[in-house]
Amino acid sequence: MRSCMLDLETYGVVPGCPILSIGAQIFDDANGTLGESFYIAMDSDQSVWGLKSEPQTVLWWEQRSEEAREVLFDPSRVSLRDGLALFCLWLREQDDCLIWGNGADFDPPILVKALHMLGYETPWRPYSVRCYRTIKNLRPDIKMRNPVVAHHALADATAQAVHLMDIREQTTLTFS
């Protein structure tokens, strides 16, 4: 089955925080191939929508590499409303796929909260969400390859998808 690894860069760690960027990587773990990808950066001031930054996360961003912080100043940033709409359109074009996030409590729930706050429907079925963190913790011996740029949503999503395929290739686990 096709899957989509989702990665968000945010100004917080709980649903209701601003989303700085969305990265998504389609992959097929059964045959070990990557498919289409999606990336969008969004304006960081999202208080108009009721999303609240967490000071400790804002401070954490100040300590990241210059490459990672480029998302904060990306000239191609769009509004949160436009970014979410574009992501939903893109994901719906990918057919029905599993949605993976690095934590059952992080990427998907943060994105769903923002979608609902802006009046959008969740673009995947509720039973389609999977937790990459759980799987990677089952096989700590299979190391993840470093993303091209750490804390870049698409680079992280791609590295996580490749890691998940590596785990699948070296185990008897099936992801459906």
**Domain boundaries in the chain?**
2-169
* pTM attached to this predicted model: 0.95
30 band by pLDDT with thresholds 50, 70 and 90? confident
Q: Residue 109, exposed/middle/buried by CB under 10 A (0-12, 13-18, 19+)?
A: middle
| pLDDT tens per residue, range 59-110 | 999 999 888 888 888 889 999 999 999 999 999 999 889 999 999 999 999 9
On whether the CB atoms of residues 26 and 34 are closer than 8 A, the answer is yes
Rounded to whole angstroms, the Cα distance separating 112 from 116 reads 6
Query: Architecture of domain 2-169 in CATH?
Result: 2-Layer Sandwich (3.30)
Q: Judge whether residue 173 has pLDDT over 80.
A: no
